[in-house]
Structure 1
Amino acid sequence: MKNFRKTRALALMALALLGYVAVAPAQLNTNSNIKATKHNLSASGPGTTKATTEDQICVFCHTPHASNSTAPSPLWNRKIGGASADGNTYAATYTPYTSNSLDAEKIFGALSQPGGSSKLCLSCHDGTLALGTVGVLDGKANPATVTGLTGTMPTGLGATTGFTRNLGVDLRNDHPISFTFNKTLAAGDTDLAIIGDGELREPPYTVSDKLVVGTRSSGVKPMLPLDHEGKVQCTSCHDPHLEASKFLRLNRLQKAAPAGGDFVAANDQICLGCHNKLGSTWSNSAHANTTVAEEAYTSLAAGRREFPVGTRVWEAACLNCHDTHSVQGSRRLLREGVDTTSTGSDSGTYKDGSTSSPSGVSAIEETCYQCHQGTATKVIGTANGTVPNIKSEFERARRMPIKTADQGGSGNTTERHDISNADFIETPQQLGLGNNANRHVECTDCHNPHRVIRNSKFYGTNADANKDKRTHDLAGSEGNVASGVLRGTWGVEPTYGGMTTWPQAPGSYTVKKGDPGANTSTAKTSTYLTREYQLCFKCHSDYGSSMPSLGYTGGTPSGASANGMTTYTNVAAEFAVSASDTPSSGGDQGEQSNAGTACSAGDCDPNGTSPNGGGATGNNHRSWHPVIWPTGRDAAERTQNGTTMDNFRPPFRANLGTQTMHCSDCHGHAGSWTQGTSPTDTTNAPNLATAQGPHGSSANFILKGVWDLTVTPGSTRDSNTSGGICGRCHNPNANSGFDGSASEASHSFTTKSSRPCMRCHIAVPHGWKNKAFLVNLECVGPEGGRPAGCTAVGNNTTDGTSTSIETIAPYYNSAALRIRTWQASGRWTETSCGAPNYGGKDWMSDVSGCQ
């Protein structure tokens, strides 16, 4: 009876001192019953970690007399980090959480050592002091450690995993604590809820006149209280006396579909009380939408996470990817976000991190792979729709540098990815500009998981919930509009200058960022990202790249197998053209003029002026795959002498001349869509075994087929069984000139079907200075290391009668073509080609492989 009265008195006193009083009905977890929780370390406690005989409950934390004077109230009965009441020091200095995207650190400076009530919690949870070490027991100071509690906080599956509450003194993988949370902080982060100061009663930061986050004062009892200094502490989310999951003050899991408006304590996950993630933007995302995120956790995965059996992805919400106390070595509280695995009988089911490199190197992709991998090992089951297996794509022969070891060169152990805000922005230098060691790719470089939707367009809702991996519509009239998986990510739009040379780097770039909200505008001038190429250009241009060398592990090797290339190229410069999204003339946008006349032998450079250029009066002009701009070459433009040259396969023939395309139409794995179909072509049953996107491929340059000297007109036609890239969209055996039509007898398919396409066409077919991607050894300029204008190469005699094949990386690979007269489409003859004194196909008759 004596001990019971002492225990009850201590409990009441502690509750009063801490301010743990009855709360308003809006707060769900109201049952303060320390006796029924694992914090009851007495012999009567419900847990497996408890005293052998000691029956006092509160004594393990509190004492009415001789409490620790260095600790904040309430009457603490344990030592805390630093100098203790008896002059001893037991705890090492903590390493606080840090992040480049932590606004509290930007505004208030680096996080200091834990303070306030957080320091009290850590007196057990840092694992440096036995649980039974108390300052006073039965009126005696410094007693022996309580029997049965001589050990420190249990490690569960391991102190370095995310499945432990022995946090250690390295808090970089734990939710930040002891920082000021006020209006200034919230205003600096669009993903945080602006909070009240005890007087504010405005939605969505209050519910039914109940403050969600704020400082306690007379008559003001916030659901998630800050301490008296206005700081976030462990007790902002946890009440150690509550009989609730993880001692949380509010719901650990989402209870109903998130509405995207006011925080609803009865339904919403506790995280949303502070992190509203742009409200409806999160609630509409593929990871929160109840129709899309309906997959249930497997029994093993749910058990590991202490989720109820059958928990679905939308219910786990933030906890799918984050854990407030994640695996050591991970960043931004990412669950399983390290590149190591567990060992022993439970090997492979969770990550075992470390506080030191390289054994615990951060790996963001591992967080995504929990769900986005093969069905045998992922943490969720199948439901209505399919979660793409992205992990297997990054295990192909060629891949983006997503592995930490691929970033910054061989043996690197530092993950280069480092975002700065809710839009996931990184500086150009962090992407690789001026420092190629920073070049990298992570899942969140291309996808914002808080904003993605399952839709073939970035705007709208999850309307395409059952379209699985059909991430963009190839046949749609909107062409290169970004898909739903790219919603809310960021990129850059290039602004081009006078277009006087080729290649010409853009004069400037405009950053496109933010979530579009309800806006459906697809204009390139929008402040947010509307095009897939805008995403790609932030790395594949001089905005965020210094054109690094090829050859990282998993990348395309440098040299002969890469068409002679040794470095990456500025793709934005290669696409540099002067055009419009809606062709104004109805003709070929690449022509300087559409007069229909041919340029003379020395007057064929579309960049130049007479006598070295003169393209403004002829038929030579720039060409490009219609990624940024449509070509304008509609059926009428392609018709000569009554014959329409249509060598396009579906779906690219549907909007000829006005169609634009995605970078990922060519880059990615071949299995992501079949030749002659598209990801949205349900009639022809496209192959959706592989997700769209340039994650990985078996071919160099992450192409969906091969583009090298083995590719000939014969290997790009019909069934495309050779794996060539061109034949996925083009059919050279159609009415295209290769069959001898339209006076192009020199291009008879039977004559040239085994000749390498690169004898005549550019080796990097993004954009080009000449029409139809045709190389011309009679006119080589800066793209081949020559002066601006036209320089003939491969001639050893003044009359140009010698023959040669030229490889001038990156654009000429065994090129042999020489053009005397540029003709309009369908009007080419043999005499159009050849050197000045060596006409027609005779020029190529002496070149190996061309006769």
Structure 2
Amino acid sequence: MGKCPPLALGLWHVLTVALLMLFIAAGDIRPAAAQQSDIASTKHNLSTSGSGSVKSTSESQICVFCHTPHAANVTAPPPLWNRELSSATYTTYTSNSLDAQTILGGVLSQPGGSSKLCLSCHDGTMALGTVGVLGGKTNVSVAMSGTDLGKMPAGPQGATSGFTRNLGVNLSNDHPISFTYDSTLATTDGELRGMDAQQRHPVGTGTVIGIRSSGYKPLLPLQNTGTGGAGQVQCTTCHDPHLNASKFLRLNRLQTSQPAGSDFNPAIDQICLGCHDKLGTAWSQSSHASQTIADEAYKLESATLREFPTGTQVWQAACLNCHDTHAVQGTRRLLREGVSGSSGGTGVGSYKLGSTSSPNSVSAVEETCYQCHTTSANSVIGTANGSVPDIKTDFSLLRHMPITTSEQKSGVETHNIKDRNFTEERTTLGQLDVNNRHAECTDCHNPHRVTRNSLFNGTGVNTQRTHTPGGTNGNLASGALRGAFGIEPVYGSRSFFAVPNSFTEKTGDGGQGASTAVASTWVTREYQVCLKCHSDYAYSDDNVYPSGNSRPELASPGTPAAATERNNYTRYTNQAREFQAPVTHQGAPGSQGTDAGAGNNTNNHRSWHPVMDITGRTTALRNGASANSWLAPWNANVGNQTMHCTDCHGNATASGTITPSGTNPWGPHGSTNNFLLKGPWNTSSGSPDTNALCFRCHSTVYANGGGTTGFRNSDRGDLHSYHREKVGSMRCNWCHVAVPHGWKNKSFLVNLNDVGAEAGQSGSKEVAISGSSSNYSEGPYYRRAKLKIVTFRQNSNWVESDCGSAQKTGTNLIANSQGSTSNNTNPATGKDWMTNTCSSPP
């Protein structure tokens, strides 16, 4: 309008008020509680009186940069737009778990409605000072300061930082817009607020969400820009460009009080929860939303960078701890720190840089978690009542899950969840291509549901970092695994060599007090989370080891790198079949015929560590074995306890315990020991290593003698002690299988008279060992094995003649480590055979 005389200014004021009333009628202004529609005090005041860094050097009018009462752009949606619309073609948000995209059968539509108005500035393609009408002239360019060559500036952190509001034309890292939000979408997603037929929430009233109309002003308005006037989410659903509120948000940017549950409370709840109902109480009870647990405050620099008020605590930041509605370029699912790159970081006041065109900046889910789950020095938050587990350090240990992109064989992060339960296609787990195998934080944890409780269905908070070993809770999943995705094998055979018939997927969240039954639809056991990757659910099992199932990619930072160190233990074993615990094989059932899959079946049966179910082998059934053959808590209720995978796998622990020291976390993130074990698995030559993994749970009487174990007879007493005394030093793997998850023989006993498919052999063969220097190693199950069993016995009935050569010949004989197939230099069985085999051992 140029410089107007007083009368003209008065008329312009009247027109401005009228225009604002038109905006209200059009549904574009709805002041939130304690907020005002006062554009003059916001960064959208681009006039000379503006307080922001971007403003005109000459124009004093405020509204003219967006609106005009006359000669408005007829191609633009209302209200009375005074700018051209960008002609850019946008890369829209996409996600494997975006149900709006699925419903459309493809990608999201190009932005429309009010979103096009916003993007006419915020996509960075058009000059900010160019307006349609000003002072009776058209296509006027107003001189501006603080711009980037006249366009939206990147800001001090740069265009790819996630802190710029120059959104660009690539909107894949920005909250989706211009999609219809109705009951179909809400039902399909399962974690969106339910809608009625008129697209209102709450159903019937629509006080929170709905299509704005005369006399009806929901807090989060949908715009009727969809097919047939359907209400769509647009930029103005969350933002009111005239409000003097943080980020122009219509409702709270931060949580102001503990979320109450499934009902949205606009007075206290974060705006995100207005639409996103993260299974109601699941989010409100989670560690990340808990006012008691997540009370750590952001460090000053970190809060400043994220534009959080000083002292903002984790529970207050809530969704914004991990997500940003306009996130860093290159990220997925709006993750705040979701990319890795050559610059940036997760320390104080820093962030990750990323670009979709940069090979060094690719989506890295763990970087989001590492903001807080790192050392106190590098964390973006301080400490308060509880310690935040340092997970990043575990992933830097000698052996760790292959979590970084460079450690994953595919070269990209194939991890790609498909729904709110973080379920994943079997193909991306490696079912058809083992190169797709990967590890990500959300493979095991659902950050919207995790709780600090030793039980997934526990009430409140307890001091356990995860589960309580042993005891009445057995193998129940901990709160750290609440609401995760897992599988339960369905068996059709009890043979060690039979793979499961099928798998039942476990998803969802039962909540506090939920059923702990294995048959529940949600995860109730830790092993259910582990088995989705460590079984033939995620890779094929041809039952041929080693030749048919070699896994060379295991020679990665997560596993031993040298072949001599691995001793060929580079094959995935199918832990779903190893840990199977058939009821008929529990206890001491005696001969099970060929049921277990072994070729030598007299008094033989399957054995397993009680991860999936109890063994039933009580001290009474072990013929008087002392409970003190186990360390606490495993010496209580022997045979009727269950355990967790993470009792053996995880950060290295001190001798005699499986509990991590200090603040070291539970979980199989990383370890200084091979195979992510809590202790060394391969004892050195000479005296038994009491620091070995086995002696984290089993008493050292097995190694040093002097105890009463289940292996005994009436003449010699405890045969572990007897052999220890006679031999002088022993290895567990001489007699027991090298991968003690589960086995075809009782008590994990190897039997070199019966070597079969588990070692790549057809049929049942005997290994020709001769003399004390001879042994048998063939991964994954045999490591320096020496034991030959002719007849299996009940625990206290063993006799000397039960051990020795079966005297097989010809094609039924396997050459020993020295290449010899002679096995007749030893007596067939008994004391002399054992003396020849075990004296002066290596």
TM-score after normalising by structure 2: 0.88
User: Is the alpha carbon distance of 1:749 and 1:50 closer, same or farther for their aligned partners in structure 2, counting shifts above 3 Å?
Assistant: same
Higher alpha-carbon deviation: 101-110 or 8-17: 8-17
Q: Which amino acid in 1 is paired with 2:558?
A: G
Distance 1:475 1:543 in 2: 28
Task: Tell me the residue number matched to 2:828.
Answer: 838
Residue 492 of structure 1: CA displacement? Answer: 0.7
For 1:509, what is the secondary structure of its paired residue? strand
Alignment counterpart, residue 520 of structure 2, candidates 518, 522, 526: 526
Aligned to 1:128: 125
Structure 1 partner of 2:63: 58
CA offset at residue 389 of structure 1?
0.4
Tell me how far 1:812 sits from its aligned partner. Answer: 1.2
CA contact (8 A) 1:551 1:557 kept: yes
2:488 counterpart SS class: strand
Q: One-letter code of the match for 1:486? A: L
Say if 2:137 is the partner of 1:140: yes
Report the equivalent of 1:104. 100
Residues 23-80 of structure 1: CA deviation (Å, up to 9, x unaligned)? 9999415411111111000000111211112101011111233332321122222222
Q: Does 1:515 align with 2:515?
A: no
Distance 2:560 2:21 in 1: 66
Structure-1 residue corresponding to 2:362: 361
Secondary structure of residue in 1 paired with 2:121 = helix
User: Relative to 1, partners in 2 of residues 1:141 and 1:700: Cα closer, same or farther, differing over 3 Å?
Assistant: same
Deviation at 1:400, TM superposition (A): 1.0
Confirm or deny that 1:697 pairs with 2:667.
Answer: no
**What's the CA shift for 1:825?**
1.6
Return closer, same or farther for 1:757/1:427 CA change in 2, 3 Å cut-off.
same
- Structure 1 residues 599-618: aligned runs within 5 Å: 607=596, 613=600, 615=601, 618=602
1:272/1:753 CA distance change after superposition, 3 Å: farther
| TM-score normalised by structure 1 residue count | 0.88
Alignment-mate amino acid for residue 178 of structure 1? S
* Matched AA of 2:166: N
- Are positions 1:636 and 2:620 aligned together? yes
Q: Which moved more, 1:345-354 or 1:360-369?
A: 345-354
**What displacement does 1:346 show?**
9.9
Bigger CA drift: 519-528 or 10-19?
Answer: 10-19
8 A contact 1:818–1:835 mirrored in 2: yes
Q: Report the residue type matching 1:811 in the other structure.
A: Y
Distance in 2 of aligned mates of 1:746 and 1:350:
59
Structure 2 counterpart of 1:621, which letter? Answer: H
Match of 1:505 in 2: 499
Paired residue type of 1:106:
T
Counterparts of 1:205-284 in structure 2 under 5 Å? 209=205, 211-229=207-225, 230-284=231-285
1:427 pairs, out of 415, 425, 430, with 425
2: CA distance, partners of 1:105 / 1:18: 31
Per-residue deviation, residues 243-263 of structure 1 (Å, max 9, x unmatched): 111100011111111101321
Find the counterpart in structure 1 of residue 331 from structure 2. Answer: 330
The aligned amino acid for 1:17 is L
Does the Cα contact within 8 Å between 2:712 and 2:795 map onto a contact in 1? no
Q: Deviations over 1:204-238 (max 9, x none)?
A: x57xx552111112322111111113111000000
Deviation at 1:292, TM superposition (A): 0.8
Choose the corresponding residue for 1:589, options 581, 586, 592.
Answer: 586
Distance 1:221 1:565, change over 3 A: same
Task: Tell whether 2:40 aligns with 1:35.
Answer: yes
3-state SS, counterpart of residue 629 of structure 2: strand
Distance 2:243 2:237 in 1: 13
The letter of the residue matching 1:754 is S
Contact 2:428 2:437 in 1 (8 A): yes
Change (3 A) 1:108 1:22: closer
Q: In 2, distance between residues paired with 1:556 and 1:791?
A: 30
Letter in 2 for 1:220: Y
- Aligned pair partner of 1:706 in 662, 668, 680: 680
Contact 1:489 / 1:513 at 8 angstroms: preserved in 2? yes
CA 1:829 to 1:559, structure 2 compared with 1: closer, same or farther past 3 Å?
Answer: farther
Task: Give the corresponding residue for 2:815.
Answer: none
AA at the equivalent of 2:215:
G
Q: 1:329 to 1:13 in 2, by over 3 A?
A: farther
- Residue 359 to residue 386, structure 1, CA distance change in 2 (3 Å): same
Residue 421 of structure 1 deviates from its aligned partner by 0.6
| Matches of 2:241 and 2:434, distance apart in 1 | 49
Quick one: which amino acid aligns to residue 309 of structure 1?
A: T
- For 2:241 and 2:30, the matched residues in 1 are separated by 20
1:628-687 CA distances to partner (integer Å, 9 max, x unpaired)? Answer: 1111111212234xx63642111111221111000000001114xx444565xxxxxx72
Contact 1:34-1:40 within 8 A present in 2 as well: yes
Partner of 1:562: 566
With 731-740 and 544-553 compared, the bigger mean Cα shift is at 731-740
Cα contact 2:120–2:126 (8 A) shared by 1 = yes
Contact 2:43 2:52 in 1 (8 A): yes
Distance 1:748 1:539, change over 3 A: same
Structure 1, gaps ≥5 residues long: 83-91, 581-587, 596-603, 680-685
Cross-structure match for 2:475:
480
Change (3 A) 1:834 1:72: same
Q: Which residue does the alignment assign to 1:172?
A: 172
Task: Output one character per residue of 1:310-366: Cα deviation in whole Å (capped at 9) or x when no partner.
Answer: 111111111111010011111000001111264599997111111224132001111
Would the alpha carbon gap of residues 188 and 623 (structure 1) be closer, same or farther in structure 2, given more than 3 Å must change?
Answer: same
Q: CA–CA distance in 2 between the matches of 1:407 and 1:3?
A: 68
Go from structure 1 to structure 2 and tell me whether the alpha carbon gap of 1:226 and 1:638 turns closer, same or farther (over 3 Å shift): same
Checking the alignment, whether the CA contact within 8 Å between 1:7 and 1:57 is kept in structure 2 is: no
Mapped contact 2:588–2:621 kept (Cα < 8 A): no
- Once structures 1 and 2 are overlaid, which stretch shifts more, 288-297 or 820-829? 820-829
Alpha-carbon deviations, 1:572-605, whole Å to 9, x = none? 111234128xxxxxxx71644379xxxxxxxx97
| Cα-to-partner distance string for 1:680-699 (whole Å, 9 max, x where unaligned) | xxxxxx72331100011111
Distance 1:371 1:825, change over 3 A: same
Question: Per the alignment, do residues 822 and 568 of structure 1 end up closer, same or farther by CA in structure 2, a change over 3 Å counting?
Answer: same
Q: Give me the whole-angstrom Cα distance separating, in 2, the residues matched to 1:522 and 1:306.
A: 43
Counterpart of 2:637 in structure 1 is 655
SS in 2 for 1:214: strand
Distance 2:685 2:471 in 1: 29
Residues 715-759 of structure 1: CA distance to partner in whole angstroms, max 9, x if unpaired?
13xxx2xxx111101123252459996252784324445333222
Q: Distance in 2 between matches of 1:814 and 1:11?
A: 89
**Does structure 1 retain, via aligned residues, the 8 Å contact 2:587–2:618?**
no
Q: Distance in 2 between matches of 1:711 and 1:58?
A: 84
1:423-470 per-residue CA deviation (whole Å, 9 max, x = no partner) reads 011111121101112111111110111111110000033321x44x2x
Report if aligned partners of 1:10, 1:62 keep a CA contact under 8 Å in 2: no
The residue type equivalent to 1:111 in the other structure is L
Distance 1:703 1:693 in 2: 10
C-alpha deviation, 1:608, in angstroms: 6.2
Distance 1:362 1:638 in 2: 53
Q: Give the conservation status (yes or no) of the 8 Å contact 1:78–1:135.
A: yes
Could you tell me which runs of 5 or more consecutive residues in structure 2 were left unpaired when the two chains were aligned: 1-5, 226-230, 542-550, 807-826
Output the CA distance in 2 between the equivalents of 1:244 and 1:144.
29
Q: 1:783 to 1:172 in 2, by over 3 A?
A: same
Local SS of the residue matching 1:188: helix
2:813 paired with 1:812: no
Residue type at the aligned position of 1:725: L
Residue matched to 2:823 = none
Kindly provide the CA deviation profile for residues 474-517 of structure 1, in whole angstroms up to 9, marking residues without a partner as x. Answer: 13212110000100001111111222x43221111111110012
Alignment root-mean-square deviation, CA = 2.8
Which position in structure 1 is the counterpart of 2:745?
Answer: 770
Give yes or no for contact 1:638–1:645 (8 Å, CA) kept in 2. no
Cα distance change, pair 197–248 in 1 and its aligned pair in 2 (3 A): farther
Aligned mates of 1:343, 1:729 — CA distance in 2? 44
The more displaced of 132-141 and 41-50 is: 132-141
Cα contact 1:502–1:769 (8 A) shared by 2: yes
**Any conservation in 2 of the 1:193–1:276 contact (CA below 8 Å)?**
yes
Which residue identity is paired with 2:112? G
Post-superposition CA distance 1:365-406 (Å, at most 9, x none)? 110111111000111111111110011111111111211122
